[in-house]
Structure 1
Amino acid sequence: MRLHELLTASARRHPRAVAVHGPEGPVSYAELDALADRYAAALTARGVRPGDRVVIWSHKGVRTVAVMQAALRTGAIYVPVTGSNPPARLTRITSSAAPALVVADPEAAERARPGWDGVPLVTFGELLEGAPAGASASAHESAPDDPAYILYTSGSTGDPKGVCISHRNALAFVEWAVAELDVGPDDRLSNHAPFNFDLSVFDLYAAFAAGAAVHLVPQEMAYAPAQLAQFMREREITVWYSVPSALSLMIREGGLLDEEPPPALRACVFAGEPFAIHHVQALRTRWPKVRLLNWYGPTETNVCTSYEVTDADLERTGALPIGVACSGDEVTLDPPGAEEGEVVVTGPTVMLGYWGGEPHTGPYRTGDLARRDGEGRLHYVGRRDHMVKIRGHRIELGEIESAIGSLDTVADVAVLVAGSGLEATLHAVVVPAPEGRPSLLNVKRCCAERLPTYMIIDRLHVQDDLPRTANGKLDRPLLAAKIEAGEL
């Protein structure tokens, strides 16, 4: 089985069932299969060959999904780039990926074309116009370890890094996830994440594997809490998957828990960052029949551990575990036998490597720190690169965030360091919960009850929200810059 064969198989089994419901409306499996075939013929007519890269610079929509599938059918590698990304970032990605073609939304193409001297750039409509009438493409026989797609993430050097994922990598996760959640043809999955974010792999391919429908959340709605809560109900979503910050926003400002549980919802999955425990407990209390799962894994491995929330977590005071290994992977800590160590992943989901670099071999070192409890479950501690030293003491910022996040008055929190040496200070930036507004005294007291004295914060900043990247994760560099500039 290859990744694109999930769609073609479901199109044979469920031709009239809804495959994707996008801004254009719903399309059936038969319609999506036919559209992907037309685009595959168009790509071939444009000279795209097996192993070539096709950059898709667009907002989410049916045609975007169709071109992704078309690229796979020709043996090409698709590279999704969110339409809101500026031309300058597109140029950096194309410089790295060296694609044969860039396919773009009309408005994106219009922004880029003045001064564009890169690879051929066409709109979706122009691509189809170039295909021979009635042409269809014959599917390329990709090998399981051939690259399927490249997801560009922010690199530590400032240049985007292309995480190269094979058919085998993606299918190992998708097949596990479909079985774990028992996804079937009657399910309706949400797609909250942009296509360049690894969360979207589950949304699209779990749906295609099961013959289910995937409902695309428009980008302009991604952080509109009331609209998201309404979307969940009106589309009768059965399996929701998003970053925790989206769910927190829906709880705080979207009235998500003000009504009875969404009747169709049976599973709510979250990943990408820690989820405030009081929000997890609120969901468990208000939605006792909805499965809640915390998934963990960097883009380089997709989901490699999983933890399912139980009633016992209602008494928990710290963050949820990230759980145990899944997707056929083995997850260990380094150094072996240590109480705490770096998360290391071995198994079928580990990436081929970074595009343009040496192939990755052996285990993948995540850079994340975790500890294993007496029941064998992993608990996320933080990032190696968030480990700082203040006045000689090593401090993991995530541990302070976990402590402050336990307060009922805190909906979201980020802790950062400003200054250096003896002048270094710990700053907590918090979003208040509906229950009240935290004070510096309360936050300091909370830290003092849970942490060593050198980990007690020095400054508190209360904000309406925390800055987020396009993928919905905390934008630490922007927040640090605002603190250093005295803008908070």
Structure 2
Amino acid sequence: MSLYRLVADAAARTPAALAVSDLVTGMSYGELDARADTYLAALRGRGVLPGDRVLVWTDKTAEAVAVAQAVLRCGAIHVPVPRGNPPGRVARIAADARPALIVTDHAEQLPGVACVPHADLAREAPSGSRPAPRPVRPSDPAYILYTSGSTGAPKGVCLSHGNALAFVDWACRELDLTPADRLANHAAFGFDLSVFDLYGAFRAGASVHLVGETLAQAPAPLVDFLLERRITVWYSVPSVLVLMAEYGELLERGPGALRACVFAGERFPLKPLKELRRGWPGVRMLNWYGPTETNVCTSYEVTAADLARTAAIPIGSPAAGDTVSLDDGEIVVGGPTVMLGYWGGEPQAGPYRTGDLGRYDAAGLLEYRGRIDDMAKVRGHRIEPAEVNGVLVAHEKVRDAVVLVVGAGPDARLHAFVIPETGAAPEYAELRRHCARFLPPYMAIDALHTVSGFPRTGNGKVDRVALGGLVTRGAGV
């Protein structure tokens, strides 16, 4: 079984059923299947071969979904990069992935690799062409998701068709998805939450409704979207649900057709979680956990019993056929959802060490206890401060910098501590503009603190606790 078979099979069963809808248009399963074949013919005409990478740098549209399906049908590897990523970061991703082709929905070009708008690509296909897809094995790579890397450069997590299907099949069973369901896709295509939104819908023959990048951070319009599109299954980071409740009257307006609300990517603050659970007694609520390298590997269903909790909910029990254990407090995951490896690196051998700390509660459920290293979640995205740091120190007025995540969950913010070069110190707005040239919007700094030096621990390392104290004392701008 392959990921591309999900659409083809649904098209054979119910060709007229809605498959995917963006904010402008929609495609039935028959239309999506045919459109994917059009792009498949064009990609082959361009010489794309099995194992090649095709980077898709677009907004969230039905056309982008069709392109992704065509890449998989080629036996190639889909590399989704959200349109909001600036050319500097896309260039670094392209340098690592070495794509045979970059497909866009805009005229932006990158040096050294062919960039083609998907409208031009579609016109290259012979009229009426329906080429046969390339057979793939479950172990063949399907897509690469680029996360913030510990070296300061984006890092590609490579997952196979089998990795994705192990999770998707489990999720469809867990949520009892049917063709009548209408799934929202809030996450960007380059974020692992989108795997369920898209392929869970296709596996069930349901429809998926794409939330554009601008709409994704607008609380009141998001609630409108949820209700007007009659969404039955919602999946997002908790901070989005918190914003929808605080500024979009989510609880006051009711869940509409919603029957399942799933969240992942960060801790859900207990008070707003309880308010949501209390206000939506008829909606299933599930907390899913797993780094990009494993997709989802544990699950916990939030029930009325959790209204009595005084501490964070657990991340639960193993899911999707995975085994989850603790090694000196670190969460270790083995099983069918574990990645093939990092692109360009050694294949993953054995269980994956997440770098997350956990412990078991009295009921034997796993609790998340934080990160071993500095990696953190900000605005629902996993961020390695070293990547932001690397961009800051490239600015001409910055001699050295440390980036620190302050706060947790929806309140997590990126604070930059900067030692300026001789002369005028950089302004906050100036550094924000600089970051925007190289980083996606969710990695922009939230505060700037100009310092003459960094406090150090006894072994010479930067004392991050002391730096955090500068924030509480109100230093910086």
Same-fold status (TM-score > 0.5): yes
User: Contact 2:415/2:445 (CA < 8 Å) preserved in 1?
Assistant: no
Percent identity of equivalent pairs: 57
In structure 2, C-alpha distance between the alignment counterparts of 1:90 and 1:322, rounded to whole Å: 33
Amino acid at match of 1:132: P
Equivalent residue, structure 1, for 2:226: 232
Is 1:214 equivalent to 2:208 in the alignment?
Answer: yes
User: Contact 1:45/1:132 (CA < 8 Å) preserved in 2?
Assistant: no
Equivalent residue, structure 1, for 2:240: 246
Amino acid at match of 1:163: V
Equivalent residue, structure 1, for 2:261: 268
Give the alignment's Cα RMSD to 1 decimal: 2.4
Amino acid at match of 1:345: V
Which of 293, 296, 319 is the matching residue for 2:289? 296
Is 1:147 equivalent to 2:144 in the alignment?
Answer: no
Q: CA deviation at 1:471?
A: 8.7
Equivalent residue, structure 2, for 1:447: none
Q: Which has the higher contact order (CA 8 A, sep 6+)?
A: 2
Q: Give secondary structure in 1 for the equivalent of 2:3.
A: coil
Which of 186, 189, 208 is the matching residue for 1:192? 186
Q: CA deviation at 1:373?
A: 1.2
Q: Give secondary structure in 2 for the equivalent of 1:332.
A: strand
User: Contact 2:21/2:27 (CA < 8 Å) preserved in 1?
Assistant: yes
User: Contact 1:194/1:471 (CA < 8 Å) preserved in 2?
Assistant: no
User: Contact 2:72/2:78 (CA < 8 Å) preserved in 1?
Assistant: yes
Q: Give secondary structure in 2 for the equivalent of 1:111.
A: coil
Amino acid at match of 2:96: S
Is 1:93 equivalent to 2:81 in the alignment?
Answer: no
Q: CA deviation at 1:481?
A: 5.5
In structure 1, C-alpha distance between the alignment counterparts of 2:211 and 2:297, rounded to whole Å: 25
Equivalent residue, structure 1, for 2:346: 358
Equivalent residue, structure 2, for 1:29: 29
In structure 1, C-alpha distance between the alignment counterparts of 2:196 and 2:102, rounded to whole Å: 25
Amino acid at match of 1:39: Y
| Residue pairs, 1:97-112, within 5 angstroms | 97-106=97-106, 110-112=107-109
User: Contact 1:44/1:137 (CA < 8 Å) preserved in 2?
Assistant: no
Equivalent residue, structure 1, for 2:325: 332
Q: CA deviation at 1:87?
A: 1.0
- The alpha-carbon distance between structure 1 residues 205 and 82, as it changes in their structure 2 partners (threshold 3 A), is same
- The alpha-carbon distance between structure 1 residues 354 and 477, as it changes in their structure 2 partners (threshold 3 A), is farther
Equivalent residue, structure 1, for 2:80: 80
Amino acid at match of 1:369: L
In structure 2, C-alpha distance between the alignment counterparts of 1:132 and 1:387, rounded to whole Å: 48
In structure 2, C-alpha distance between the alignment counterparts of 1:200 and 1:375, rounded to whole Å: 31
Q: CA deviation at 1:229?
A: 0.7
Amino acid at match of 1:413: D
In structure 2, C-alpha distance between the alignment counterparts of 1:227 and 1:368, rounded to whole Å: 34
User: Contact 2:79/2:143 (CA < 8 Å) preserved in 1?
Assistant: yes
User: Contact 1:295/1:307 (CA < 8 Å) preserved in 2?
Assistant: yes
Equivalent residue, structure 2, for 1:346: 334
Equivalent residue, structure 1, for 2:382: none
In structure 1, C-alpha distance between the alignment counterparts of 2:407 and 2:154, rounded to whole Å: 28
Equivalent residue, structure 1, for 2:355: 367
Q: CA deviation at 1:302?
A: 0.3
When normalised by structure 2's length, the TM-score is 0.81
In structure 2, C-alpha distance between the alignment counterparts of 1:81 and 1:416, rounded to whole Å: 22
Q: What are the superposed Cα offsets for residues 104-125 of structure 1, whole Å, 9 maximum, x if unpaired?
A: 012xxx333xxx4311110001
Amino acid at match of 1:323: G
| Residue pairs, 1:380-399, within 5 angstroms | 380-386=368-374
Equivalent residue, structure 2, for 1:126: 120
Q: CA deviation at 1:385?
A: 1.5
User: Contact 2:414/2:446 (CA < 8 Å) preserved in 1?
Assistant: no
In structure 1, C-alpha distance between the alignment counterparts of 2:297 and 2:114, rounded to whole Å: 37
In structure 2, C-alpha distance between the alignment counterparts of 1:471 and 1:376, rounded to whole Å: 39
Q: Give secondary structure in 1 for the equivalent of 2:314.
A: coil
Amino acid at match of 2:64: T
In structure 2, C-alpha distance between the alignment counterparts of 1:479 and 1:153, rounded to whole Å: 22
Amino acid at match of 1:305: T
Q: Give secondary structure in 2 for the equivalent of 1:258.
A: helix
Q: How many residues align?
A: 409
Equivalent residue, structure 2, for 1:316: 309
- The alpha-carbon distance between structure 1 residues 387 and 83, as it changes in their structure 2 partners (threshold 3 A), is closer
In structure 1, C-alpha distance between the alignment counterparts of 2:96 and 2:231, rounded to whole Å: 37
Q: Give secondary structure in 1 for the equivalent of 2:179.
A: coil
Is 1:160 equivalent to 2:154 in the alignment?
Answer: yes
Q: Give secondary structure in 2 for the equivalent of 1:148.
A: strand
Equivalent residue, structure 2, for 1:378: 366
- The alpha-carbon distance between structure 1 residues 314 and 144, as it changes in their structure 2 partners (threshold 3 A), is same
Equivalent residue, structure 2, for 1:39: 39
